[in-house]
Amino acid sequence: MEFAVEVEILARVRHRNLLSLRGYCAEGQERLIVYDYMPNLSLLSHLHGSHSSECLLDWKRRMDIAIGSAEGIVYLHHQATPHIIHRDIKASNVLLDSDFQARVADFGFAKLIPDGATHVTTKVKGTLGYLAPEYAMLGKANESCDVYSFGILLLELASGKKPIEKLSSTVKRPIVDWALPLVCDRKFSEIADPRLNGDYVEEELKRVVFTALICAQNQPEKRPTMLDVVELLKGESKDKFSQIENDELFKSPPAIENSDGKSAAEDDSPDLIVEVKESKHDLKDNTSV
Ligand SMILES: Nc1ncnc2c1ncn2[C@@H]1O[C@H](COP(=O)(O)OP(=O)(O)O)[C@@H](O)[C@H]1O
Ligand SMILES: [Mg+2]
């Protein structure tokens, strides 16, 4: 089933920031999809995996990856007909070509949104840490679910932290719970990935983290569209950006702020019931830190 979905979607998409289809084979039991090989593998492998110690992602590359992958998703949400939601935006699904340009990949969970529909109600699929809360709880999927996941991805890209950080063997902290209080206190330098050694453009870092958090807020109707996201990341809309800077969300440190992690989710708290996709590669990448 995933195979058929992936081939159907891939046949429709063509954009410089999407990994497109070279060919496929469906004969007897054989199922094969051929893509261009991406020599720099995935963003995950550079942030947390086999390439993370090489520090190949300088700030310029990170900005290009942020903007490029956002433009790939704009194509899916706003230019493809019917519109497509990806439903599994995450670091292991952003591949990097020989110039470190982003290519969003892995359309196995993607959904076509029929013309005029505001959302589709479906079985929840995706990856813990990146799932929008309303989608995880109600199975209501539309473009804003991808926007939420993209916000998490942006935080990960800027900070080098994982979407869910293990504080101890039983306590986990979502990246938003860590980043939001720092942004409320305007402590942007504490968010920047230490591997950048302070070598980043402060204005751009601010754009990335504000945009990330406005994307990854709980109320889907308050999230921006991916078109807004591209504008914000490129610094093209001063008005929209100052509106965001002054948003309620960033006024006072939220109740979840807690440096000892007490309010972070306990491991034995009931997990959301989701069909979580974790490929062997993801597991390998995640554990090779
Ligand atoms: N075209 C490619 N070039 C290089 N590496 C790839 C390519 N496609 C996938 N990979 C690697 O394999 C991993 C899993 O691929 P993906 O298509 O996302 O499959 P899955 O459905 O298992 O998540 C990626 O995170 C990446 O590291
Ligand atoms: Mg994948």
Per-residue pLDDT tens digits for 156-176 = 999 999 999 999 999 999 999
CATH of the domain at 189: 1.10.510.10
Q: Which two tokens stand for residue 72?
A: 């790939």
For 63-112, how does the pLDDT look when each residue is reduced to its tens digit (9 = 90+)? 999 999 999 999 999 999 899 999 999 999 999 999 999 999 999 899 88
* Whole-number pLDDT of residue 50: 85
Mean pLDDT estimate for the chain:
88
Q: CA angle, 18 as apex, 155 and 76 as ends, to 5°?
A: 80
Quick check: is 18 in a domain?
Answer: no
Please enumerate in sequence order all residues whose Cβ is within 8 A of that of 184, keeping only pairs 6 or more positions apart, or say none.
Answer: 250, 251, 252, 253, 254, 257
> Residue 62 and residue 157: Cα distance in Å, rounded?
7
Alpha carbons 216 and 226: distance in angstroms, whole number:
12
- Verify whether ligand 1 is closer than 6 Å to residue 106 (CB atom): yes
Q: Per the domain annotation, does 123 fall within a domain?
A: yes
Is there a domain that residue 109 lies in?
Answer: yes
For residue 174, cis peptide bond before it (omega within 30 degrees of 0): no
For residue range 215-259, list pLDDT tens digits in order.
999 999 999 999 999 999 999 989 999 999 999 999 975 555 455
- Residue 286's pLDDT is 37
* Confidence (pTM): 0.88
108 lines ligand 1 (CB under 6 A): yes
CB 18 within 8 A of CB 76: yes
With respect to residue 272, please indicate whether it lies within any of the assigned structural domains.
Answer: no
Which atom of ligand 1 lies at the shortest distance from residue 278's CA? 23
Protein residues within 5 Å, CB atom, of ion ligand 2: 93, 106
Residue 15 lies in a domain: no
Residue 33 lies in a domain: no
User: What per-residue confidence (pLDDT) applies to 11?
Assistant: 85
Cα 16 to ligand 2 centre (Å): 19
Q: Does residue 115 sit within a domain? A: yes
> Which residues form the catalytic set?
88
Tokens of 53: 């110690």
Whole-angstrom distance, CA of residue 7 vs CA of residue 77: 18
If you average pLDDT over residues 25-38, what whole number do you get? Answer: 92
Distance, CA of 257 to CA of 162 (rounded, Å)? 18
Question: How many domains is the chain built from?
Answer: 1
Residue 5: burial class (beta carbons within 10 Å; 0-12, 13-18, 19+):
middle
Give the residue-averaged pLDDT of 140-148: 95
pLDDT at 141 over 50: yes
Question: What tens digit of pLDDT does each residue of 175-195 get?
Answer: 999 999 999 999 999 999 999
179 in a domain, yes or no?
yes
* Residue 200 confidence (pLDDT) above 90: yes
For residue 236, how far is its CA from the centre of ligand 2 (angstroms)?
31
Mutate to test the pocket of ligand 1, among 20, 24, 31, 38 (most ligand atoms within 8 A of CB): 38
- The whole domain housing 113 covers 40-250
Confidence (pLDDT) at 21: 86
Q: Whose CA is nearest to atom 11 of ligand 1?
A: 41
